A and B are shown apart, each in its own frame.
Chain A
Amino acid sequence: MPPRKPVAKPDLLPDHFLRWFAMRGWSPREHQLALLQKARDDRSALLIAPTGAGKTLAGFLPTLAELSGAQGEQSGSKVISTGRSVQRGQGLHTLYISPLKALAVDIARNLETPIADMLLPIKIETRTGDTPVSRRARQRRYPPDILLTTPEQLALLLSSDDAPYLFSSLKRVVLDELHALVTSKRGDLLSLGLARLWKLAPDMRVIGLSATVAEPESLARFLVPQPVGESVSADIVVAGGAAEPVVEMLDTKERLPWAGHSARHALGEIYDLIKANKTTLVFVNTRSQAEMLFQDLWRMNDDGLAIALHHGSLDVAQRRKVEDAMSAGKLRGVVCTSSLDLGVDWGDVDLVVNVGAPKGASRLMQRIGRANHRIDEASRAVLVPANRFEVLECRVAIDAVAENAQDTPPLRTGSLDVLAQHVLGCACGAPFRADDLYDEVRSAAPYAELSRVDFDDTVEFVASGGYALKIYERFARIKQDASGKWRVTNPKVRQMYRMNVGTIVEDTMLKVRLLRGGSGKSKKGVTGALARGGRMLGQIEEYFIEGLVVGDTFVFGGEVVCYESLVEDQVYVSRAHDKDAKVPSYMGGKFPLSTYLAERVRKLLDDERAWKGLPDQVREWLSLQAHVSHVPGTRELMVETFPRADKHYLVCYPFEGRLAHQTLGMLLTRRLERARARPLGFVANEYALAIWGLGDMSHMIRQGRLDLAALFDPDMLGDDLEAWLAESALMKRTFRTCAVISGLIHTRFTGEEKSRRQVLFSTDLIYDVLRKHQPDHVLLRAARADAATGLLDIRRLSDMLTRIQGRIIHRELDRVSPLAVPVMLEIGREAVYGEASDELLAEAAEELVKEAAGFEETES
């Protein structure tokens, strides 16, 4: 051991590390030392720190120190073994896992600096989907000291038969951006991978790096094996000292829109903000908003400011170019989506502009953190509400940021489709005994409460489909051998597993290519041959293209393009010269308004004195509402009914986010139909739901023919929900995700198989049949569990319905109220949500009749 000089924190860091810090003009931060101490005490730890706090270095310091110290202790030659049982002196020491492969690559680059400066004998490598096969093979045989990778790659490594060899030397796992990882099925997959690692390397300790969350104790459970029937957490280290962010709402001089999400009214002001700052990140909530805003900004960009666009659908090379230009300080502004929520620190961003609703307090704080280039300097952010309701949301979000109130969701319950994938992966690695695997899986925090029935059903599903009708035994993928161990029945099973590992099931994406030579008039027929080639613009969801007809224009890649044709998985578009796209593609934000912010918005509405902090226009709007109708109280559900043109409207204000409102809309229309109110459609936004129909609902309520308490009774989540789920397109999408993740169907095939489109099986058909013949099948259970929190947000709806029982306030009005205007304006702008396929088909059929009768289309 080299002699050490006593320092303030004796011997936590070797001398040459201290010298390195000093050389760079730094001193180790308190939380960095705290993590070293945890490592010394052989404890796993969760570090909670804002962006810019040197979080990543903190996570790696124990590893770097250990590896540099280890060198002194073991001066002998390295033992490299190819046998599985031979213990080596060294080998893989630390595994770093991040949600983004780009992040792994950047971290590798950043770590090279201290390693090179201090001449540390440490080998770092990355392993992502892009790593060449030859290097992957080498990494397994001769592992680096530190491997930087993703949850999917970890699952792949664990499914190989040399996993025990590779991981037996593992000392440390570093999980980056843990707060983001744990909210999705990738987190489930990662947790199961950790459970496996604890088995293979019992001495391994875990460091989690996370932004601030609402329940750190619960998140810290993720980092340590959970004993049966107990809940234990890793130690928690909180980095302090971040300067309070300065967050303001844009004080617009313009008229605030009633509805919409584009914030076009504030374009000039956003442009001025970009102009007045060095580098500005402009966050929006959806890809299409990003497209629109980017285009609008360029239209007014008389100063030629370098403004770029970044979102998840753009071509990777394109995104990389923007990121590099950003790092090099060449950009004045980047319009981006959540694609930039995570990732490396952007150095010199001095302002974050958030356009539209912040959706959640924690989410907003993480975005604001992106502007933090030095932890001791305040981040600056400007919120730009796009409509009046969003003003309320921005107001309460700013208050929440000031109080540092967090609203991250609680730790997930592990889903069964991911478990199925993991079970197959385990069998691919080595035969397993069900009892052992059941115990192992429950050591993962998300699966701690997993029932034996669910586990056994999942294993049965993996084996032969888990069907009540036992006829697939001979096709089984895994089988129990004489000793009771489950093993893979043939090598093809392994191959299929490896090709399809992962939990990210995207909507089928199509490549968008720009035809050369401007707007060539489209050829006849959708699948007609067209000149191939054309510049790749990026990818787009298949369902969006399906809604288009040839000649429709939409915004993509920062320009208005015209849909020309679809050939296999390529969408050909030409450059359109229209200023506005014909088909709006606002699909709503992916993230609903958080329950926490919703609660605060309701409180703000309820407290007239607090309106003082709102812009004049909004205050007047609310006062007018109070005058002509009623402003909903914190715990109330306000319902308004009124006539308009030749229809009757019912508008309610649950403030539970559009997903829950859409589900509510589906269920209420069913009930209204039974009550003979003849509903025709509905539209939902984040705050309210409007239903319209032919029946005079005011009159029906007055006469007692329509009982609001009964209409909103939570029992709608019984039979009505079941009946609706049978045909719900959203439920079918949810099921498809489960079917793909669980390995029921494959989306990727080996070369010998036919082209993807030929083999892709419609999961809607499977859903219909399975639901009818085995409604309690494990995959349907998995899909229902997803529906509770996912696209249908049933749990939240259920909480709301329970909360408002006996608290429904009804106002019968003779016209639309001020509060109802925003949601009413969504009619026609938003796709009217409904499953009424017959109506749509009938509309198309009607055109045929008119044509036959020689009518002219008279409307629009």
Chain B
Amino acid sequence: MQAEIVTADMSTVSIAGVTLAADLSGALYWEEQKLLVVSDLHLEKGSSYANRGVLLPPYDTIATLGRLGAVIARHDPRTVIALGDSFHDRDAHERLSPANRDLLAALQMRRDWIWISGNHDPALPPELGGTVAEEVAIGPITFRHEPTGAAGEIAGHLHPKARVSTRGRAVERRCFASDGTRAVMPAFGAYTGGLNIRDAAFARIFQTLGFVAHVLGDRRMHAIAASRCC
């Protein structure tokens, strides 16, 4: 028997009574609100490293914006929320190439765009377009960058990833972490690593291991109990 119920293009995540779709790309889509949420883009992380002598390929921003463009094209949302750490450092937006700046502007056209501030990008300038906010509340849901564990909260910051191992083989992937009351989103950026959901940081948010990892597979989403991960 194949477990089609839990492995699909999208996983359904219920938070505080609201049903959202966890997309294979790592974005979250709220159909009724036509709202798309992405977290931790970390744009210009490559050039940030280059500045310190590690000359990573300078294609992370274009790669991230390209994937973001694809998921926006798929859902055509009315509103996009970037859930903080959209830029890797305070000066990162200044290093955007003209082409990437245009690309970003094109994505923002005809829709509301909300930048939630994160610890990497606490002060974003107005010329980036969109609105800057510390947090946003829509219905029972609050969007903020750093998770506090509050009910109805959707946050990012921790870059959750889950590791599953069977018979000596392990697979590790980014994931959404959610217990039905709150959720932590995966990082969307091309160069963003992850923190294992078994780390103590997640225990502080969820208290128990009674949460589910919605794991981004290669072609499908997989809902796996946190206690099954290692």
Q: Which residue of A lies closest to B191 (CB)?
A: A765
Contact in complex: B57, A773 (CB < 8 Å): yes
Q: Provided the pairs A546-B163, A849-B6 are in contact, do residues A772 and B53 lie with their beta carbons within 8 angstroms?
A: no
A residues apposed to B, CB below 8 Å: 464-465, 467, 469, 471-472, 475, 477, 492-493, 496, 525-528, 543, 546-550, 583-585, 727, 744-746, 761-762, 765-766, 768-770, 772-774, 777, 831, 837-838, 840-849, 851
Contact in complex: A777, B57 (CB < 8 Å): yes
Among A492, A746, A848, chain B packs the most CB atoms within 10 A around the CB of A848
CA distance A761 to B198 in the complex (A): 20
B7 within 8 A of A: yes
Q: What residues of chain A lie closer than 8 Å to B228, measured between beta carbons?
A: 844, 847-848
Which residues 14-61 in B have Cβ within 8 Å of A in the complex?
47, 49-51, 53-60
Contact string against A for B residues 48-82, beta-carbon threshold 8 Å, 1 for contact and 0 otherwise: 01110111111110110000000000000000000
From A496, A745, A831, A838, contact of B169 by CB (8 A)? A831
Contact in complex: B165, A546 (CB < 8 Å): yes
A844: min CB distance to chain B, Å: 4
Q: What residues of chain A lie closer than 8 Å to B5, measured between beta carbons?
A: 849
Q: Provided the pairs A769-B63, A769-B191 are in contact, do residues A842 and B3 lie with their beta carbons within 8 angstroms?
A: yes
B151 within 8 A of A: no
Q: What residues of chain A lie closer than 8 Å to B220, measured between beta carbons?
A: 838, 841-842
Cβ-closest 7 pairs across A and B: A465-B55, A773-B59, A846-B3, A841-B222, A845-B222, A547-B168, A838-B217
A633: min CB distance to chain B, Å: 37
CA distance A292 to B221 in the complex (A): 40
Among B57, B97, B165, B166, chain A packs the most CB atoms within 10 A around the CB of B57
B225 within 8 A of A: yes
Q: Provided the pairs A527-B200, A583-B168, A841-B217 are in contact, do residues A848 and B223 lie with their beta carbons within 8 angstroms?
A: yes
CA distance A840 to B220 in the complex (A): 12
Q: What residues of chain A lie closer than 8 Å to B170, measured between beta carbons?
A: 543, 546-547
Contact in complex: A475, B166 (CB < 8 Å): no
Q: What residues of chain B lie closer than 8 Å to A845, measured between beta carbons?
A: 3, 6-7, 215, 222-224
List 14 additional A-B contacts (Cβ < 8 Å) besides A838-B218, A848-B225: A465-B56, A467-B59, A475-B50, A477-B55, A526-B230, A548-B168, A548-B230, A727-B218, A761-B56, A762-B193, A765-B191, A769-B190, A773-B59, A841-B217
B120 within 8 A of A: no
Give me 16 A-to-B residue pairs in the complex whose CB atoms sit less than 8 angstroms apart, sorted by A's number. A467-B59, A475-B51, A475-B53, A477-B55, A546-B163, A546-B165, A550-B230, A585-B168, A761-B191, A774-B57, A840-B169, A841-B173, A841-B222, A842-B3, A845-B7, A845-B223
Contact in complex: A848, B6 (CB < 8 Å): yes
B219 within 8 A of A: yes
Contact in complex: B165, A842 (CB < 8 Å): no
Q: What residues of chain A lie closer than 8 Å to B59, measured between beta carbons?
A: 467, 469, 769-770, 772-774
Contact in complex: A547, B165 (CB < 8 Å): yes
CA distance A492 to B51 in the complex (A): 12
CA distance A761 to B55 in the complex (A): 12
CA distance A549 to B196 in the complex (A): 14
Q: Which residue of B lies closest to A762 (CB)?
A: B193
B212 within 8 A of A: yes
Among B47, B168, B192, chain A packs the most CB atoms within 10 A around the CB of B168
CA distance A464 to B56 in the complex (A): 10
B171 within 8 A of A: yes
B94 within 8 A of A: no
Contact in complex: B165, A548 (CB < 8 Å): yes
From A762, A770, A840, contact of B164 by CB (8 A)? A840
Contact in complex: B219, A838 (CB < 8 Å): yes
Q: Which residue of A lies closest to B190 (CB)?
A: A769
B110 within 8 A of A: no
B46: min CB distance to chain A, Å: 8
Q: Which residue of A lies closest to B225 (CB)?
A: A848
Contact in complex: B50, A465 (CB < 8 Å): yes
Contact in complex: B215, A841 (CB < 8 Å): yes
Q: What residues of chain B lie closer than 8 Å to A549, measured between beta carbons?
A: 165, 230
CA distance A543 to B5 in the complex (A): 31
A474: min CB distance to chain B, Å: 9
A453: min CB distance to chain B, Å: 20
Q: What residues of chain A lie closer than 8 Å to B63, measured between beta carbons?
A: 769, 772-773
Question: Number of A-B pairs whose CB atoms are under 8 Å?
Answer: 156
B residues apposed to A, CB below 8 Å: 1-3, 5-7, 47, 49-51, 53-60, 62-63, 97, 163-173, 190-193, 196, 198-200, 203, 212, 215, 217-220, 222-225, 228-230
CA distance A406 to B165 in the complex (A): 43
Contact in complex: A467, B165 (CB < 8 Å): no
B15: min CB distance to chain A, Å: 18
Q: Provided the pairs A472-B58, A492-B53, A772-B63 are in contact, do residues A547 and B169 lie with their beta carbons within 8 angstroms?
A: yes
Q: Provided the pairs A744-B54, A762-B193, A769-B63 are in contact, do residues A851 and B171 lie with their beta carbons within 8 angstroms?
A: no
Contact in complex: B168, A843 (CB < 8 Å): no
CA distance A744 to B198 in the complex (A): 31
CA distance A477 to B228 in the complex (A): 46
Q: What residues of chain B lie closer than 8 Å to A525, measured between beta carbons?
A: 198, 200, 203
Contact in complex: A844, B164 (CB < 8 Å): yes
Q: Which residue of B lies closest to A853 (CB)?
A: B5
Q: Which residue of B lies closest to A833 (CB)?
A: B169
CA distance A221 to B180 in the complex (A): 69
From A471, A548, A837, contact of B58 by CB (8 A)? A471
Q: Provided the pairs A471-B47, A472-B55, A475-B51 are in contact, do residues A841 and B164 lie with their beta carbons within 8 angstroms?
A: yes
Contact in complex: A766, B3 (CB < 8 Å): no
Q: What residues of chain A lie closer than 8 Å to B230, measured between beta carbons?
A: 526, 548-550
Q: What residues of chain B lie closer than 8 Å to A528, measured between beta carbons?
A: 200
Q: Which residue of A lies closest to B200 (CB)?
A: A527
Q: Which residue of A lies closest to B215 (CB)?
A: A841
CA distance A493 to B51 in the complex (A): 12
B43: min CB distance to chain A, Å: 13
B224: min CB distance to chain A, Å: 5
Contact in complex: A744, B7 (CB < 8 Å): no
CA distance A493 to B53 in the complex (A): 8
A627: min CB distance to chain B, Å: 36
B156: min CB distance to chain A, Å: 18
B218: min CB distance to chain A, Å: 5
B135: min CB distance to chain A, Å: 27
CA distance A549 to B49 in the complex (A): 34
CA distance A727 to B193 in the complex (A): 17
CA distance A528 to B199 in the complex (A): 9
Contact in complex: B190, A768 (CB < 8 Å): yes
Q: What residues of chain B lie closer than 8 Å to A773, measured between beta carbons?
A: 57, 59, 62-63
Q: Provided the pairs A472-B58, A546-B170, A848-B212 are in contact, do residues A496 and B163 lie with their beta carbons within 8 angstroms?
A: no
Contact in complex: B193, A842 (CB < 8 Å): no
A200: min CB distance to chain B, Å: 28
Q: Which residue of B lies closest to A550 (CB)?
A: B230
From B55, B167, B217, contact of A475 by CB (8 A)? B55
Q: Provided the pairs A548-B165, A727-B218, A842-B222 are in contact, do residues A769 and B53 lie with their beta carbons within 8 angstroms?
A: no
CA distance A769 to B170 in the complex (A): 23
B10: min CB distance to chain A, Å: 14
Q: Which residue of B lies closest to A842 (CB)?
A: B7
From B54, B167, B200, contact of A746 by CB (8 A)? B54
Q: Which residue of A lies closest to B203 (CB)?
A: A525
Q: Which residue of B lies closest to A729 (CB)?
A: B171
